[in-house]
Every structure is written in structure tokens, then in C-alpha cells.
Structure 1
Amino acid sequence: MCDCCQTGCCCFECVQTSEVGVVETCGKYDRLASAGPHFLCYPFVAMAGRVSLRVQQLDVGCETKTLDNVFVSVVISVQYSVTEESIYEAFYRLTNPEQQIRSYVYDVVRSTLPLMNLDAAFEAKEEVADSVKKSLSAVMSSYGYEIHQALVTDLSPDVKVKTAMNEINASKRLKEAAFEKAEGEKIILVKSAEAAAESKYLSGVGVARQRKAIVDGLRDSISHFSHQVHGSSPKDVIDLLLLTQYFDMLKDVGNHPNTSTFYLPSKKTKSSAVRDGILQATAGTKIYNQLPVSIAP
């Protein structure tokens, strides 16, 4: 048993896995205690503290403004650990390592974001995170700390600014929607006009073909009749065709159930006065329009 144990009391200390204990003798650094049980002669030999070798995370919240004078709140998560070779520096050189990390994060963020506008700040999260990591690694390595990663986990402007940005985006989307709707209606109108023009064109072509077919049929009929009936002229054939069409018209009119027909003489006889009187009496009235008048030959 050592001399200090003869004058003091023996105490039992346990160091957890992934931790290293710092042992001091009479207030002076003595040794590092690895994981496991350790017997110390208190009060001369004591466990001054423990240093964790695990990777730790520190969330740092910072408020700053951008180039376009918008205040934003930024949260940066710093992941760090103590290296086994630098436990002494990590324990004795810094009183509060977390506060030291916060100070450097504040310095980097407040010197980087004010150079960007709000939109660029959202797009430059990786740039900000890399700047924080490089700055902390250069400084904290001399104190025995290794910076594994720095992450920008949140970047949010004021609520009013968010609302304004959302309204701008919504207005832009509505404008695009209205433009697309108008383009759709334009296409429908153009296609309808093209269809109407094509329909009228085809209708005209049909009428022209119909008339051509009628003319061709009349020509063939006249030619055939003239060859079959000797002594007939084309005028006789045309008169015969007109007479045939006239009687067909009379047949169609007479077969209609709601038709009332007057047969008036067409020659200049005494009955011409009667015909002219009926026409004058019914001119401009609905009766004249509803009762078709057929002039008999």
C-alpha cells in the first residue's frame, strides 16, 4: 500500500467504454485511465474528469440577415469528437469547447450569408456548411477536436417573408395556368375554324360536283334523245325535261299532308284578272307564304 493510501481513504472509480479518465495527484496531471475499474487514494489522487471519445453533435442556432436585408434563422449541426492522441489538450486547453464551437460558427455564418440574397442563401447551404467545417477544423484540431461534419439543418426567414414568397410563387403558378388555359382555348378555336373552313370547302366541292353531274346528265340525255328521235331539237328535249320536272314537283306538293294548292292559268285570258287579284290580296301576308301557288300551263 502506498503512503498516500495510509493517510487517506481508498476510493473506487469506474470508467465507461469509449471514455478516458484523467487522473490527477494533488491537483497535478498524473495519467489517463482507460475503461474499467480504478482504485484511487482520495483526496491525494482523484479522477479530475472524463473525456468521451464518441462522436457528439452540437446544434448551433444563429440569426443573421442576407444581402437583400431579410433576417433568417440558421441552425447548423456540428459533429465532432476527441482524438485519442489529443485527450490532454482537449481536457486542459479549453474550458468550454461547446461555447468555442458556437463562436466560430457564428463568425462564419455572419460573414457568409450577408454576401448572398435570400434565394442564393437557400441554394448555398452546402457552401455555408463547407465554410463552417473548414474554419472549425483549422481551429479545433489544435485543441484535440476533430470536426467530422457541419450540416445546415434549417434556414428559415421570418413568417411574413415566407408568406410573401409563397404568394409570389402561387401568383406565378396561376399566371402559367391561365396562359396554358388560354393556349388550350386558342387551339380549340383554331381547330374549329379550320374544321369549318374544311367543311365549307368540301361542301362547295360537293355542290360543284353535283352541278357538274346534273349538267353532264342533261347533256347526255339531250344527246341520247336527239339520236334516238329523229327531227327533234335540243330545245324540244329541254322543254320535255322541264315539263317532267314540273309534274314531279306537283306530285310532291300534292302528296304533302299540310299543303293547299291553287292552280291558276298562266295564259292571258279573262281568268288572269282573278289570278292577279288573289296575288295582290295575299301579297306580304303569312297566307301568301304558307300557300304555295302553282301556275298551270
Structure 2
Amino acid sequence: MYIALIVFLVFGLFILLSSFFTVKQQTAVVIERFGKFLSIRQSGLQLKIPIIDRIAGRVNLKIQQLDVIIETKTKDNVFVKLKVSVQFMVVKETVYDAFYKLEYPHDQITSYVFDVVRAEVPKLKLDDVFERKDDIAIAVKRELNEAMTTYGYTIINTLVTDIDPDIQVKNAMNRINAADREKTVAEFEAEASRIRIVAKAEAEAESKRLQGQGIANQRREIAKGLVESVDVLNRVGINSQEASALIVVTQHYDTLQAIGADTNSNLILLPNSPQAGSDMLNNMIASFSASNQVGELMKKRNEKDHRSKDHKIENHSSTDHSEIQDKEE
């Protein structure tokens, strides 16, 4: 008697416990009664009739991701592997279709991805595949949405996450990119070198200009000083020739002193006798006189050539005029 009571209590407890079940968040449970669809239960504590009702299955309502790797050939006959990531989920209102119409959703999605990619990629060259990978992803998403909506699935997004060409093609592309970068580096280095050369030449030209301007100013001041020195010497009774000789001798010995005081100067041999200043002055006067004579001769020759040329032009004009009159007569 006690054993039968215990068995009855255990059986009753089992029936009571099997009447309740829980459904997790973002999950749907399909309930069948004697093998026939009864209802869909959402998250929370649920009740069913023991033995009569049973849980046929649970459907995940979270966003899922499927990575599909496809190998195909481009328009320029390059084999390439593409990795397409598909993000999808079951719509809560179409759990019935997702559970009963499609048994292996991953296989179905993979088949559609293969079909679309192998239809789109052969139309493109390898470089275009990299540039238009978003267009490929959009085409895959459009095709999948049209097909999977019937089965209660919606496609959230599709991404082409990896494009892997054949290893030989990849090495060739790397060499091309390296060559292009080396070319760019060479162009920048050449431009930088040109800028440095131009800047250096401009700096040297500016330095020469300033140096010439300084020398011109120096010589102008020296000339003014010499004129003032000659005027002072003339006032004390020394004529211009004597004053010039005195100035030349003074400059001569000042130059010798400056050369001797410079520790970095090279060896220079200059005349240092008292007569050296007079000789230098006489040589300078003779050079100036010869230069003036040469200049006068060149000036006279140029004037003579110019007159001869004008005379020829006048004769030619008169001849042409006579010929014109003869023709008119």
C-alpha cells in the first residue's frame, strides 16, 4: 500500500513538473500536440499538458553570422578566394516558417552566396574586385533577402571581409607596388635635390651681388678718400703727381703690412724697395694712357664704319629710285 502511494506521488510530481517549462530570452519554443503544431511560446515561464504536449524544438532569435569562403576566377583569369560574412536572424513573427520549411539554413545560405559570387566576380578584373567588393556584398545581400524571406529569415548584412589572390599574383602585385613606391621616392628625392641646388645657386648669386656691391662701395669710398688726400696735399704745396706717388707708396706698404699680419696668408713676393712705388705709379699711368689711346682708335674706326655703311645705303636708295623712274618713262 505504501509502495503504491509512493509511486503515485512520484508520478504525480513528475506530471506536475513536466507541465511547466521556461523559455530563455531571444528564443522561441515550438509546441506540438500528438505531432501536430500547436503553438509558439516566447520567453518566460510556460505551461503545457504533460504527455499530450511536447516541445518540438527551440529557435534562436539572435543575430547569427555565417562565414563562407568561395574560390572563383576573375575576368583576367586570376583565381581568388573571397570570404563573405553573412549576418542573419529569424523573424519573431515567422518562427513557424523558419522551423518547418527549412531544415539546414546554413547550407541554404552558403549555396546562394556561392551562386551570387561566382556570377559577379568573373565579370570583374582583379583590381576591380578589390575596389568593388561593396557592390559584391550588396548583390549577395539582395539575392539572399529575396530567397530567405520565404523561409522566415532576414539578412541583416553581408560583408566581403577578405580577398586572397593566388600567391604568385600576390607577389607580383607586391613587386608592382614596391616599384611604384620606389619611383615616387626617386621623384621626391630628385625634386628635393633640385630645390637644394636652386636655393644654393640663389644664395650664391645673392652673395656675389652683395659682395660686388660691397666692393663697389669700398672702391667708391677709397676714391673719395684719395681725392680728399690729394686736395690736402695740394694745399701744402705738393703737386698732383707727387701726391699720387706718395699715396701709391703708402698703399703699397700698408698692403705689405696687412699680408704680414695675417697668419693664414700664403707666401706672396712683392717689390719692397723705395723705387717700387714710383715704378707702380709709372706703370699705372702708362697703362691708363695706352688704354685711352686704344679706346680713341676704336671709336674712330666705329665712326668710319658707320659713315661708310650710311653712304652705301644712300647709293642703293638712289639707284633704286633711278630704276623706278626709268620704268615709268
TM-score, normalization: structure 1? 0.72
Rounded Cα–Cα distance in structure 2 between residues aligned with 1:77 and 1:247: 96
Q: Which residue of 2 aligns with 1:237?
A: 243
Rounded Cα–Cα distance in structure 1 between residues aligned with 2:219 and 2:242: 22
1:112 aligns with one of 120, 124, 133: 120
Query: Secondary structure at the residue paired with 1:105?
Result: helix
Q: Which residue of 2 aligns with 1:278?
A: none
Rounded Cα–Cα distance in structure 1 between residues aligned with 2:197 and 2:252: 45
| Unpaired runs of at least 5, structure 1 | 1-8, 257-288
Q: Does the C-alpha gap of structure 1 residues 59 and 182 become closer, same or farther in structure 2, counting only changes over 3 Å?
A: same
Query: Secondary structure at the residue paired with 2:103?
Result: coil
Once superposed, what is the RMSD of the aligned Cα atoms? 3.2
Tell me, yes or no, if the aligned pair for 1:15 and 1:33 is still in contact at 8 Å.
Answer: no
Q: Which residue of 1 aligns with 2:197?
A: 189
Query: Secondary structure at the residue paired with 2:51?
Result: strand
Tell me, yes or no, if the aligned pair for 1:23 and 1:32 is still in contact at 8 Å.
Answer: no
Tell me, yes or no, if the aligned pair for 1:80 and 1:146 is still in contact at 8 Å.
Answer: yes
**1:82 CA drift (Å):** 2.1
Amino acid at match of 1:239: A
**1:184 CA drift (Å):** 1.5
- Does 2:176 correspond to 1:168? yes
Which residues of 2 match residues 50-199 of structure 1 at below 5 A?
50-199=58-207
Which residues of 2 match residues 274-293 of structure 1 at below 5 A?
293=271
Amino acid at match of 2:99: F
Tell me, yes or no, if the aligned pair for 1:64 and 1:73 is still in contact at 8 Å.
Answer: yes
Rounded Cα–Cα distance in structure 2 between residues aligned with 1:246 and 1:88: 119
**1:66 CA drift (Å):** 2.0
> How high is the sequence identity, in percent, across the aligned residues?
41
Query: Secondary structure at the residue paired with 1:41?
Result: coil
Between Structure 1 and Structure 2, which shows a larger proportion of strand residues?
A: 1
Q: Does the C-alpha gap of structure 1 residues 24 and 82 become closer, same or farther in structure 2, counting only changes over 3 Å?
A: farther
Deviations 1:32-83 (A, max 9, x none): 45554544427xx654333332322222221112222222222222222222
Q: Which residue of 2 aligns with 1:277?
A: none
- Does 2:262 correspond to 1:215? no
| Unpaired runs of at least 5, structure 2 | 1-13, 262-266, 276-329
Rounded Cα–Cα distance in structure 2 between residues aligned with 1:122 and 1:19: 40
Q: Which residue of 1 aligns with 2:11?
A: none
Amino acid at match of 1:107: D
1:16 aligns with one of 20, 23, 26: 23
Deviations 1:88-131 (A, max 9, x none): 22222223222111111111111122222222222223222222
Rounded Cα–Cα distance in structure 2 between residues aligned with 1:79 and 1:247: 100
Count matched residues. Answer: 252
Amino acid at match of 2:236: V
Amino acid at match of 1:41: I
